[in-house]
Chain A
Amino acid sequence: MPKIKLPTKSPRIDMTPMVDTFAVILTFLMLTATMRQTEPATVETPFSISEKPTPDFNTMTFLISPEGKVFMNMDNGPDTLLKFRPRILDEMGKRYGLEFTDEERREFEKFPSSMGVPIMQMKQFLAGKNAKERDPFQLGIPTDSIDNQLAMWILCARQVNPNIQASIKGDSKTPFPAVKEVLDNLQDKKINRFMLVTSLEAAEINLDEIQK
């Protein structure tokens, strides 16, 4: 009796459910994503028990690297049409006699992370095509008393956006005098309320110890 030979098929796995699941995960991630910003300096924030989240808008963040360099970042405001960033740049330009082109203002507006560029080099910085060309200009904002550009940035930022709040993001190893300098500059501009960016940590207190 002749044997009936079935054609051997290579086993197929139906990928469709997998694709479905992946599509769901992907959509979720895309919708919830807030891009992690690459900062010009690596900063490990200290821990605290505070649970207050960082506000999304109306903040200017001062990033203080372990070497004591100061970088600044601000947001565009709750409505992108407000265009706070380019307007702050314009204000700065006015004070230092610089005229920024539309192209440069657009670049400044979309630059994603903090910057610490001395204002005189801002044009070259904005002309840079990629991070490699731009990084050499990230020297930190000058804060010394002869050329206190940090104070100017604070002034311009507050002029453009009066509701702006200051937050400070420093590394645990940042020497305190560098932080003090930023605090002093802010206090000179009558800002006495700050937010310190920290990571969350649990802490418990032993109540029995108190009652004793």
Chain B
Amino acid sequence: MAEIIQEEKSKGGKKKAKKHPPHIDMTPMVDLMCLLITFFMLTTAFAKAKVMDIVLPEKIDAPDEQRSTVAESRNVNIILGPDNRIFWYPGAVKPEEYNNNIFPPLVEIDYSATGVRQLLLDKNKTLAKKIADFQGRVLKGELVLTQDSVTGSIRKLKNDDDTGPFVQIKAYKESTYGNFVDILDEMNICGIGRYMFVDITWYEEKMVEIATGKAAVASAN
């Protein structure tokens, strides 16, 4: 293959010894290609990063007007605490409670599958089951839909749902971005229809401090 076939010269009377066809040494070329391949392999970004969509509630000047549209029993407040800890409490704290320094205790859970995921799935049974059934039918081929209409149908299921929890996520100032992404991810995993990220209030900060034992001194004063 790498040989050059030489034409026999018939001119000239001198009889030469038959030459071997000249070989081209490919080794340097191979070396060079090896180098280039290594270079490209190292500089190429193969796996493209993924993105997660999130919509934050618009900032409103009078936030109180929007409240109390959801039954309090469906409320789940999740608070991202310091040191990768996470707390939750049901319902809401009433003004007459926090004004009189009565804070409902927080329940500590964790980010694992048995922690917050279990809690949310428990609360979200009906909807999660509906979504899982729907996805199962699509996977089995009973329903033939495009990817877009699948996501659309799931969104519709979530919108129509009126039993699942209404999750409010609040971040304490010492929590990290990783916690934030984790909890939003849990919302997607559990198929929570209604969740939003809201600013933490002062009494909730206080509740976290009590739960973590930071405010023990402060409350004694």
Contacts and interface: CB of A to CB of B under 8 A. Distances in A.
Contacts of B176: 172-176
B1 interface: yes
B180 A51 contact: no
Contacts of B125: 210
Interface string B157-179: 00000000000000111111111
Nearest to A51: B50
Nearest to B40: A29
B35 to A, nearest CB: 10
Contacts of B49: 45, 53-54, 169, 197-199
B129 A210 contact: yes
Contacts of B47: 199-200
A210 B58 CA distance: 33
Nearest to B56: A192
A209 B52 contact: no
B107 interface: no
Contacts of A64: 177
A195 B54 CA distance: 6
A199 B178 contact: no
Nearest to A29: B40
Interface in A12-56: 12, 14-19, 22-23, 25-26, 29-30, 32-37, 45-55
A183 interface: yes
B54 A196 contact: yes
A210 B172 CA distance: 30
A172 B118 CA distance: 23
Contacts of B10: none
Interface range on chain B: under 10, 10 to 19, 20 to 34, or 35 or more? 35 or more
A19 B24 CA distance: 12
A30 to B, nearest CB: 6
A32 B41 CA distance: 11
Contacts of A47: 181, 185
Contacts of A36: 43-45
B50 A15 contact: no
A193 B55 contact: yes
A171 B177 CA distance: 7
Interface in A171-208: 171-180, 183, 187-188, 190, 192-200, 203, 205-207
Interface in B76-133: 80, 113, 117-118, 121-122, 125, 128-129, 132
Interface of B: 1-2, 23, 25-27, 29-30, 33-34, 36-37, 40-41, 43-45, 47-59, 80, 113, 117-118, 121-122, 125, 128-129, 132, 171-182, 184-185, 188-190
Interface of A: 12, 14-19, 22-23, 25-26, 29-30, 32-37, 45-55, 64, 167, 169-180, 183, 187-188, 190, 192-200, 203, 205-207, 209-211
Q: Which 7 A-B pairs have the closest CB atoms?
A: A172-B178, A15-B26, A195-B51, A22-B33, A29-B40, A50-B52, A170-B177
